[in-house]
């Protein structure tokens, strides 16, 4: 006899990436890394895609190490990023190094891809005085002015309006700087998301809003987060052009983010909804067994971003 669960896990929803065409989700590669999607291959070079893959593998290794450090009591807290490697790596690469990135709590890619050291990243996790914020923030809520990466605050989504404001300032100054603001699906329920979108619709600052829809906000599933069938469409209310993309396909994320960045000079903001899945716990203070079933992980497994990218590299002979 199996022991009844202490929680109330949800029956998993179908993986939207399986029906990308019907759902208007832009996709370049399929599960097997083959170019079969509804969006043209952005034709990145061998070195660029290899850099994507290597950074994704590094992020996954950091995630595994961070988890162990927290579980062995050596750091206070850990926010897993496993499963969300492709979206952060590709979006960072699509922006210019001088652009500002306001990031939610799982994105570490700008730190690594813009040349800040791994030692300094771990110094942040340990709260060492040598790290840019002098150990004042929770592990993973990192920021680094040297690489134009703004610290993730504890308050979910509170920085979306700041990202919009920095972009507005850049426009007023006639600067070439653009802004990327990343946030989760849960953050779209915050007032700051709506104020930023409203402001962006009126003043057209050069900002790319990247909603990383990983299916959950702690234990809150999507249908308890919004009555809409998608997050991208929320842009319509504010006249902010929007697009849905397969967040586990780095080529697709790169292509739509690159276009959104270029479009900042045409119409200002774009809202991107990148669809992915949080593979790990919400944080080290969570137990997802109480609200989701192992079956959900099995459904998403073929869509793992690291293995898909690896398969693409293999197909290309790279």
Ligand X SMILES: Cc1ncc(C[n+]2csc(CCOP(=O)(O)OP(=O)(O)O)c2C)c(N)n1
- State CA 170 to chain mean position distance: 23
From residue 166 to residue 205, what is the string marking binding to ligand X with x (rule CB under 6 A)?
-----------------xxxxx------------------
Report in angstroms how near the CB of residue 313 gets to ligand X at its nearest: 27
Report in angstroms how near the CB of residue 30 gets to ligand X at its nearest: 25
φ, ψ of residue 97 to 5 degrees: the values are: -60, -25
Determine the Cα angle at 105 with ends 297 and 211, to 5°.
70
* Under rule CB under 6 A, residue 85 binds ligand X: no
* Under rule CB under 6 A, residue 2 binds ligand X: no
* Under rule CB under 6 A, residue 228 binds ligand X: no
| Closer by beta carbon to ligand X, 185 or else 249 | 185
Q: With CB under 6 A, what is the number of residues at the site for ligand X?
A: 16
**Contact (CB, 8 A) for 177 and 170:** yes
CA atoms within 13 A on the CB side of 243: 21
Distance CA 51, CA 255 (A): 16
* Under rule CB under 6 A, residue 216 binds ligand X: yes
Report in angstroms how near the CB of residue 279 gets to ligand X at its nearest: 12
From residue 242 to residue 281, what is the string marking binding to ligand X with x (rule CB under 6 A)?
------------------------------------x---
* Under rule CB under 6 A, residue 72 binds ligand X: no
Distance CA 6, CA 4 (A): 6
| Closer by beta carbon to ligand X, 190 or else 203 | 190
| Closer by beta carbon to ligand X, 104 or else 230 | 104
| Closer by beta carbon to ligand X, 31 or else 88 | 88
CA atoms within 13 A on the CB side of 93: 25
How many helices and strands in the chain, by DSSP H and E?
A: 11, 9
Report in angstroms how near the CB of residue 71 gets to ligand X at its nearest: 19
| Closer by beta carbon to ligand X, 291 or else 312 | 291
| C-alpha to C-alpha distances, 286 to 59, 77, 80, 136, 194, nearest whole angstrom | 21, 11, 11, 23, 28
φ, ψ of residue 26 to 5 degrees: the values are: -70, 135
Query: Is 244 an annotated catalytic residue?
Result: no
* Under rule CB under 6 A, residue 106 binds ligand X: yes
Closest CA to 211 of 281, 144, 267, 157: 157
φ, ψ of residue 150 to 5 degrees: the values are: -90, 135
* Under rule CB under 6 A, residue 33 binds ligand X: no
Report in angstroms how near the CB of residue 154 gets to ligand X at its nearest: 5
* Under rule CB under 6 A, residue 8 binds ligand X: no
Name the H helices within the chain. Answer: 20-23, 46-71, 85-94, 109-113, 118-126, 160-173, 191-203, 222-225, 250-263, 294-300, 305-316
Report in angstroms how near the CB of residue 79 gets to ligand X at its nearest: 8
Active-site residue set: 278, 282, 291
Binding residues for ligand X, per CB under 6 A? 104, 106, 154-156, 183-187, 214, 216-218, 278, 282
């Amino acid at each position: 006899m199996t022991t009844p669960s202490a929680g109330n896990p949800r029956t998993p929803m179908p993986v939207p990436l399986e029906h990308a065409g019907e759902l208007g989700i832009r996709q370049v590669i399929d599960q097997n890394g083959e170019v079969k999607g509804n969006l043209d291959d952005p034709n990145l070079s061998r070195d660029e895609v290899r850099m994507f893959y290597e950074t994704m593998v590094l992020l996954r290794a950091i995630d595994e190490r961070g988890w162990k450090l927290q579980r062995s009591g050596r750091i206070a807290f850990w926010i897993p990023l496993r499963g969300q490697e492709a979206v952060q790596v590709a979006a960072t690469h699509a922006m210019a190094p001088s652009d500002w990135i306001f990031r939610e709590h799982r994105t570490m890619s700008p730190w690594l891809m813009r040349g800040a050291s791994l030692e300094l990243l771990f110094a942040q996790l340990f709260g060492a005085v040598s790290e840019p914020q002098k150990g004042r923030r929770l592990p993973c809520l990192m920021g680094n002015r040297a690489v134009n990466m703004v610290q993730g605050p504890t308050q979910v989504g509170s920085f979306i309006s700041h990202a919009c404001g920095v972009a507005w300032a850049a426009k007023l100054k006639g600067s070439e700087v653009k802004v990327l603001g990343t946030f989760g699906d849960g953050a779209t329920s915050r007032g700051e998301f709506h104020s930023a979108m409203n402001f962006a619709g009126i003043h057209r600052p050069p900002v790319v809003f990247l909603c990383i829809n990983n299916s959950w906000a702690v234990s809150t599933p999507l249908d308890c987060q919004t009555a809409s069938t998608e997050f991208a469409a929320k842009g319509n209310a504010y006249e902010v052009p929007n697009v849905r993309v397969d967040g586990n396909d780095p080529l697709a994320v790169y292509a739509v983010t690159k276009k959104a960045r270029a479009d900042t000079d045409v119409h200002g903001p774009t809202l991107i909804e990148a669809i992915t899945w949080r593979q790990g716990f919400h944080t080290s203070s969570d137990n997802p067994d109480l609200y989701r079933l192992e079956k959900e992980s099995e459904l998403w497994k073929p869509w793992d971003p690291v293995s898909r990218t690896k398969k693409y590299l293999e197909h290309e002979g790279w």
